[in-house]
Structure 1
Amino acid sequence: MSRLDSMLRRFTAQRDGLNWAAQAVAELDGDVLDMGLGNGRTYDHLREILPGRRIWVMDRILQCHPSCVPPEEDFLQGEAEPMLIKLAEFGQSIALAHYDFGMGIKEDDVAESARLSPLIAAVMKPGGLLVSGQPLVGFEQIKGPETIAPDRYLFYRA
C-alpha cells in the first residue's frame, strides 16, 4: 500500500471512529480530550460533531491552522505527563478521548502510549471511550465501527 493510500485509510478510520464514538457517548456527560493537536484537523472535527462540549487539547507546541486554535483555557501546552496530571486535578471529567501522539517509530510510540495509559485513565469518566491510533493498556478494548480494519484504529472503554 502506498503511503498516500495508507494516510487516506488512517484519516477515514479516524473520522469514522470519532463519529461513532461521539454517538456512543451522547448520553454520557463529560468533556472531550484531544491528545495531539498537530494541524488541528481532528480538533476542528470534534468541535463540529460535539457542539457544546468542552474540548481539552494537549500538545507540546501550538502550531495548528489559525482557524483551529483552541481557547487558551482549554489548551494544555507541554509534555504529556505534566499536562495529564494537571487535567486530573479536575477529576475524572473526560467522556471521550482521542489519542494521537506519536513520532512514527512504532516501538517508541507503543512504549509511550503504555507509559501514558495510567495517566489517561486518571482523567477518564467510568464508561468513557478512547479512540486511539496506538495501543493503550489498562482499558477494556472494544470493537469499533465495522468500516474500520481492526489494526487501523483502536477503541477502548474506561
Structure 2
Amino acid sequence: MSRLDSMLRRLTAQRDGLNWAAAQIETLSGEVLDMGLGNGRTYDHLREVLPGRRIWVMDRVLQCHPSCTPPEADFLMGEAEPMLERLASQGAPIVLAHYDFGMGIKAEDVAEAARLSPLIARVMMPGGLIISGQPLLGFAEIKGPDSIPPERYLFYRT
C-alpha cells in the first residue's frame, strides 16, 4: 500500500472514530483533550462535532493553520508529561481524549504512548473514551465503529 493510501485510510479512520466517540459521549458532561495539535485538522473537527465543549489541546509547539488555533487558555504548550500533570492538578474533567503524538517511528511512538498512559489515566473521568493511533496501557480496549479495521485506530474506555 502506498504511503498516500495509508494516510487516507488513517485520516478516514480518525474522522470516523471521532464522530463515533462524539455520539458516545453526547449525554455525558466533561471536557475534551486533543493530544498532538499538529496542523489543527483534528482540533477543527472536534470543534465542529462537539460544539460548546471545552477542548484542551497540547503540543510541543504551536504551528497549526491560523484558522485552527485554539484559545490561548486551552492550549498547553510543551512536553506532554508536565502538561498532563498540569491538567491533572487542575482537575480537568476529561470525558474524551484523542491521542495523536508520534514521530512516525513505530517503536519510539509505542514506547512514548506506554510511558504517557499512566498520566493520561490521571486526567480521564471514569467511563470516558480515548481514541488513539498508538496502543495505550492500563485501559479497557473496546470495539469502535465497524468502518474502522482492527488495529487501524484503537478505542479505550476508562
1:116-131 paired onto structure 2 within 5 Å: 116-131=116-131
- Show structure 2 runs of 5+ residues with no match: none
SS in 2 for 1:86: helix
Return the alpha-carbon distance in structure 1 between the equivalents of residues 58 and 27 of structure 2.
25
Q: Offset of 1:91 from its aligned partner?
A: 1.8
Aligned to 2:91: 91
Q: Offset of 1:90 from its aligned partner?
A: 2.3
CA RMSD of aligned residues (A): 0.6
TM-score when normalising by structure 1: 0.99
* Deviation by residue 1:41-61 (Cα, 9 ceiling, x = unmatched): 000000000000000000000
SS in 1 for 2:34: strand
Q: Offset of 1:92 from its aligned partner?
A: 5.3
Aligned to 1:46: 46
SS in 2 for 1:89: helix
Aligned to 1:154: 154
Return the alpha-carbon distance in structure 2 between the equivalents of residues 30 and 4 of structure 1.
35
Return the alpha-carbon distance in structure 2 between the equivalents of residues 157 and 28 of structure 1.
13
* Deviation by residue 1:38-91 (Cα, 9 ceiling, x = unmatched): 000000000000000000000000000000000000000000000000010122
AA in 1 matched with 2:112: E
SS in 1 for 2:104: coil
- Contact kept in structure 2, 1:33 and 1:94, CA below 8 Å: yes
Return the alpha-carbon distance in structure 1 between the equivalents of residues 70 and 78 of structure 2.
15
AA in 2 matched with 1:78: G
- Show structure 1 runs of 5+ residues with no match: none
Aligned to 1:142: 142
SS in 2 for 1:27: coil
AA in 1 matched with 2:53: R
- Contact kept in structure 1, 2:31 and 2:92, CA below 8 Å: no
Size of the aligned set, in residue pairs, is 158
Return the alpha-carbon distance in structure 1 between the equivalents of residues 138 and 25 of structure 2.
20
Bigger drift between 50-59 and 82-91 goes to 82-91
Aligned to 1:10: 10
User: Which 4+ runs in 1 deviate beyond 2 A?
Assistant: none
- Contact kept in structure 2, 1:131 and 1:153, CA below 8 Å: yes
TM-score when normalising by structure 2: 0.99
AA in 2 matched with 1:5: D
AA in 1 matched with 2:139: F
SS in 1 for 2:90: coil
